[in-house]
């Protein structure tokens, strides 16, 4: 009898002992939100899922929201997201958690059919996609056009030649797309001049390169939506200055960020001197000095809002390519660039090669710093000589 009482007392003390406190799910999620979504933190997020069911529920979303894929983990990722080739037979609940799919680091790890299958499984919530170099082709467009929540699309790594017509047929359904990187190789559509393509209505940033030609600029780019505020043109061997200037006359009033970078072999020195005049609301300009002269700083509307100026220089530039710090200084002195705060130049422009040039650059830097003190824009001010080309 005494043994029975002792056992009952032991059980009661066990039931009455205080249970370990558990954090609310919202608190755990807030803690995990401080873990940065980068490759080195994937192991940390995975470890959090092993703590308890509550920690698993809070961590799993962050782990799969932006997976970092490589040749070492890609097969496991595919088997998790696509446990069966037939989605109607077996689906993965984790597929709905993926928001960003970056396959840019993969070369021969995937296949074209597998890329299309992944896009098909992730179409419901995918917001950003970076296409792989090899395993993306025309058959992937059918799955891509169903990713209607995409806001970021990067096709710049694709090695296959893509038809612009096929691309724009896909873009029709991506009505939330804001940032687009064009493929580096595309087929020239014979009817591009007669058929006007439809751009995503919310497009904010467009990056074009390589195979884009004058015909595309003249007949298609001018119809880009007014929401377009960032334009980047780089490595387009077929483009001439006339087409770029035409595009800027049509789109320039909406642009806030513009980059025109080498190599553009069809464009000669001084042919882009009207860039700031065509783009009266530009805040940041990155341009190769190969295509401009000091005259660009006289072709400026009064009180232009430009804040950042990056001057690149190609390796093939000759001695005539020479943008001087004095030209920028005088433009500021004449109140043409009252908001300019940061000037970064390529080392190839040799602003520190002679005592006179270096003195002029120092004067410009001091002027920019003084302007920031008098009218703060809360940004670093001065001149930097180490801009990477």
Cis? peptide before 263, omega within 30° of 0: yes
Interval 72-78 mean pLDDT = 91
Q: Which residues of 331-342 are buried (b: 16+ CB within 10 A; e: fewer)?
A: bbeeebbebbbb
Question: If we measure between CA atoms, which residue out of 370, 361, 355, 258 comes closest to residue 305?
Answer: 258
Q: 66 pLDDT exceeds 90?
A: yes
Q: Is the pTM of this model over 0.75?
A: yes
What CA–CA distance (Å, rounded) separates 157 from 154?
8
Per-residue pLDDT tens over the stretch 164-189: 899 999 999 999 999 999 998 876 66
Model pLDDT, residue 186: 75
DSSP class of residue 254 equals: G
Give DSSP secondary structure letters for 119-187: HHHHTTT--EEE--SSS--GGGHHHHTT-TT--EEE-TT--S-EEHHHHHHHHTT-TT--EEE--S-EE
Across 22-36, 76-90, 134-148, 174-188, least confident range: 76-90
What CA–CA distance (Å, rounded) separates 350 from 367?
20
The pLDDT mean for the chain works out to 90
Structure-token pair, residue 60: 């799993």
Q: 2 pLDDT exceeds 60?
A: no
Structure-token pair, residue 69: 């894929």
Fold of 65-384: 3.80.10
Give the orientation angle of helix 53-65 with respect to helix 25-32, to 10 degrees: 40
Structural domain boundaries in the chain: 25-64, 65-384
What CA–CA distance (Å, rounded) separates 189 from 192?
5
Question: If we measure between CA atoms, which residue out of 340, 166, 310 comes closest to residue 232?
Answer: 310
Q: 4 pLDDT exceeds 50?
A: no
């Amino acid at each position: 009898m005494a043994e029975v009482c002792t056992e009952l007392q032991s059980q009661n003390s066990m039931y009455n002992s205080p249970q370990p406190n558990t954090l609310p799910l919202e608190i755990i999620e807030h803690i995990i939100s401080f873990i940065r979504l980068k490759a080195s933190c994937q192991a940390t997020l995975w470890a959090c899922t092993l703590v308890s069911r509550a920690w698993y529920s809070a961590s799993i979303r962050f782990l799969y929201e932006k997976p970092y894929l490589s040749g070492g983990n890609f097969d496991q990722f595919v088997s998790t997201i696509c446990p069966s080739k037939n989605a109607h037979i077996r689906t993965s609940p984790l597929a709905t958690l993926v928001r960003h799919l970056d396959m840019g680091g993969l070369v021969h790890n995937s296949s074209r059919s597998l890329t299309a299958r992944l896009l098909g499984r992730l179409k419901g919530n995918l917001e950003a996609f970076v296409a792989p170099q090899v395993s993306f082709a025309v058959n992937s467009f059918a799955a891509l056009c169903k990713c209607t929540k995409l806001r970021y699309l990067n096709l710049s790594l694709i090695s296959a030649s893509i038809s612009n017509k096929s691309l724009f047929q896909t873009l029709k359904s991506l009505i939330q797309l804001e940032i687009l990187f064009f493929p580096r190789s595309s087929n020239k559509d014979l009817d591009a001049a007669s058929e006007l393509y439809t751009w995503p209505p919310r497009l904010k940033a467009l990056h074009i390169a390589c195979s884009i030609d004058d015909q595309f600029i003249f007949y298609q780019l001018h119809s880009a939506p007014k929401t377009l505020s960032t334009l980047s043109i780089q490595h387009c061997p077929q483009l001439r200055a006339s087409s770029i200037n035409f595009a800027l006359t049509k789109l320039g009033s909406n642009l806030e960020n513009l980059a025109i970078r080498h190599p553009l072999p069809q464009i000669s020195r001084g042919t882009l001197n009207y860039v700031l005049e065509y783009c009266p609301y530009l805040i940041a300009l990155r341009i190769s000095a190969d295509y401009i002269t000091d005259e660009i700083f006289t072709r400026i509307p009064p009180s232009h809002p430009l804040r950042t100026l990056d001057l690149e220089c190609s390796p093939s530039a000759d001695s005539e390519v020479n943008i001087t710090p004095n030209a920028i200084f005088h433009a500021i002195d004449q109140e043409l660039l009252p908001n300019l705060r940061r000037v970064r130049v390529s080392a190839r422009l040799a602003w520190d090669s002679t005592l006179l040039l270096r003195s002029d650059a120092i004067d410009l830097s001091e002027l920019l710093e003084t302007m920031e003190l008098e009218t703060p824009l809360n940004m670093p001010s001065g001149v930097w000589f180490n801009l990477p080309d």
